[in-house]
Amino acid sequence: MILGYARASTGGQNLEAQVDALEAAGAERTYSEKISASQLDRPELDRLLDQLRPGDVVVVAKYDRLSRSLQDLLMIVEKIRNRGAGFRSLAEGIDTTTPAGRLVFHVMSSIAQFELERIAERTKEGLAAVRKRGRVM
Protein backbone atom coordinates (compact mmCIF):
# COMPACT_ATOMS: atom_id res chain seq x y z
CA MET A 1 0.00 0.00 0.00
CA ILE A 2 1.23 3.51 -0.77
CA LEU A 3 0.80 5.83 2.21
CA GLY A 4 1.24 9.58 1.85
CA TYR A 5 2.39 12.05 4.47
CA ALA A 6 1.74 15.78 4.13
CA ARG A 7 2.78 18.42 6.63
CA ALA A 8 2.64 22.18 6.87
CA SER A 9 4.49 24.12 9.55
CA THR A 10 1.70 26.52 10.42
CA GLY A 11 -2.06 26.56 10.41
CA GLY A 12 -2.03 29.25 7.73
CA GLN A 13 -0.27 27.06 5.19
CA ASN A 14 -2.20 24.92 2.75
CA LEU A 15 -1.76 21.16 2.36
CA GLU A 16 -3.74 20.83 -0.88
CA ALA A 17 -0.78 20.86 -3.30
CA GLN A 18 1.01 18.17 -1.28
CA VAL A 19 -2.10 16.01 -1.03
CA ASP A 20 -2.72 16.36 -4.78
CA ALA A 21 0.87 15.30 -5.55
CA LEU A 22 0.59 12.32 -3.20
CA GLU A 23 -2.69 11.20 -4.75
CA ALA A 24 -1.17 11.53 -8.24
CA ALA A 25 1.69 9.31 -7.03
CA GLY A 26 -0.82 6.63 -6.03
CA ALA A 27 -1.22 7.26 -2.31
CA GLU A 28 -4.18 5.23 -1.12
CA ARG A 29 -4.24 6.91 2.28
CA THR A 30 -2.72 10.24 3.28
CA TYR A 31 -1.82 11.36 6.78
CA SER A 32 -1.81 15.15 7.12
CA GLU A 33 -0.97 17.54 9.89
CA LYS A 34 -0.19 21.18 10.49
CA ILE A 35 2.69 21.15 12.92
CA SER A 36 6.33 22.18 12.97
CA ALA A 37 8.80 19.45 11.96
CA SER A 38 10.82 20.38 15.04
CA GLN A 39 8.02 19.01 17.21
CA LEU A 40 9.01 15.61 18.54
CA ASP A 41 5.38 14.62 18.91
CA ARG A 42 3.74 14.49 15.49
CA PRO A 43 0.60 12.39 15.99
CA GLU A 44 -0.18 11.73 12.31
CA LEU A 45 3.40 10.73 11.49
CA ASP A 46 3.40 8.43 14.52
CA ARG A 47 0.09 6.93 13.38
CA LEU A 48 1.45 6.35 9.88
CA LEU A 49 4.58 4.65 11.23
CA ASP A 50 2.52 2.49 13.59
CA GLN A 51 0.31 1.27 10.74
CA LEU A 52 3.13 0.41 8.31
CA ARG A 53 3.28 -3.15 7.05
CA PRO A 54 6.02 -4.92 5.10
CA GLY A 55 5.86 -3.89 1.45
CA ASP A 56 4.20 -0.53 2.11
CA VAL A 57 5.74 2.65 0.72
CA VAL A 58 5.69 6.03 2.48
CA VAL A 59 5.53 8.88 -0.03
CA VAL A 60 6.13 12.59 0.61
CA ALA A 61 6.03 15.50 -1.83
CA LYS A 62 9.40 16.76 -0.56
CA TYR A 63 11.62 15.25 2.08
CA ASP A 64 11.53 18.43 4.19
CA ARG A 65 7.84 17.71 4.79
CA LEU A 66 8.88 14.58 6.67
CA SER A 67 11.80 15.94 8.67
CA ARG A 68 13.53 19.08 9.87
CA SER A 69 17.05 17.95 9.01
CA LEU A 70 18.85 15.29 7.05
CA GLN A 71 19.77 13.53 10.29
CA ASP A 72 16.10 13.46 11.32
CA LEU A 73 15.18 12.16 7.86
CA LEU A 74 17.69 9.34 8.21
CA MET A 75 16.22 8.28 11.56
CA ILE A 76 12.65 8.31 10.23
CA VAL A 77 13.58 6.39 7.07
CA GLU A 78 15.38 3.85 9.25
CA LYS A 79 12.13 3.35 11.21
CA ILE A 80 10.31 2.86 7.89
CA ARG A 81 12.94 0.35 6.72
CA ASN A 82 12.75 -1.55 10.01
CA ARG A 83 9.04 -2.05 9.37
CA GLY A 84 9.86 -3.62 5.98
CA ALA A 85 8.54 -0.60 4.08
CA GLY A 86 10.05 1.76 1.52
CA PHE A 87 10.32 5.53 1.23
CA ARG A 88 9.79 7.85 -1.73
CA SER A 89 10.26 11.60 -1.98
CA LEU A 90 8.71 12.94 -5.16
CA ALA A 91 10.63 16.23 -5.52
CA GLU A 92 14.06 14.72 -4.86
CA GLY A 93 13.45 11.51 -6.80
CA ILE A 94 14.44 9.34 -3.84
CA ASP A 95 12.95 5.85 -3.87
CA THR A 96 14.39 3.32 -1.44
CA THR A 97 12.38 0.54 -3.06
CA THR A 98 14.89 0.46 -5.95
CA PRO A 99 18.63 -0.33 -5.92
CA ALA A 100 19.48 3.08 -7.44
CA GLY A 101 17.24 4.86 -4.93
CA ARG A 102 18.88 3.08 -2.03
CA LEU A 103 22.29 4.06 -3.41
CA VAL A 104 21.29 7.74 -3.61
CA PHE A 105 19.88 7.60 -0.11
CA HIS A 106 23.02 5.92 1.28
CA VAL A 107 25.22 8.53 -0.41
CA MET A 108 23.12 11.25 1.23
CA SER A 109 23.48 9.43 4.55
CA SER A 110 27.24 9.22 4.18
CA ILE A 111 27.51 12.91 3.35
CA ALA A 112 25.38 13.80 6.37
CA GLN A 113 27.54 11.66 8.64
CA PHE A 114 30.72 13.19 7.19
CA GLU A 115 29.38 16.70 7.78
CA LEU A 116 28.44 15.89 11.39
CA GLU A 117 31.95 14.60 12.03
CA ARG A 118 33.53 17.66 10.40
CA ILE A 119 31.39 19.97 12.56
CA ALA A 120 32.55 18.09 15.67
CA GLU A 121 36.19 18.42 14.57
CA ARG A 122 35.85 22.15 13.90
CA THR A 123 34.17 22.65 17.26
CA LYS A 124 36.99 20.85 19.08
CA GLU A 125 39.60 22.86 17.17
CA GLY A 126 37.83 26.12 17.99
CA LEU A 127 37.57 25.27 21.68
CA ALA A 128 41.27 24.29 21.79
CA ALA A 129 42.22 27.62 20.19
CA VAL A 130 40.13 29.53 22.74
CA ARG A 131 41.69 27.60 25.64
CA LYS A 132 45.17 28.20 24.25
CA ARG A 133 44.49 31.93 24.52
CA GLY A 134 43.47 31.54 28.17
CA ARG A 135 39.74 31.98 27.70
CA VAL A 136 37.24 29.60 29.20
CA MET A 137 34.02 28.70 27.42
Active site residues: 9
Query: In which region does residue 13 sit, left (phi positive, over 0), alpha (psi from -120 to 50) or beta (all else)?
Result: beta
Q: In what order do the strands lie in the sheet with 86-89?
A: 29-34, 2-8, 57-60, 86-89, 94-95
- Determine the Cα–Cα distance for residues 39 and 46; give it in Å rounded to an integer: 12
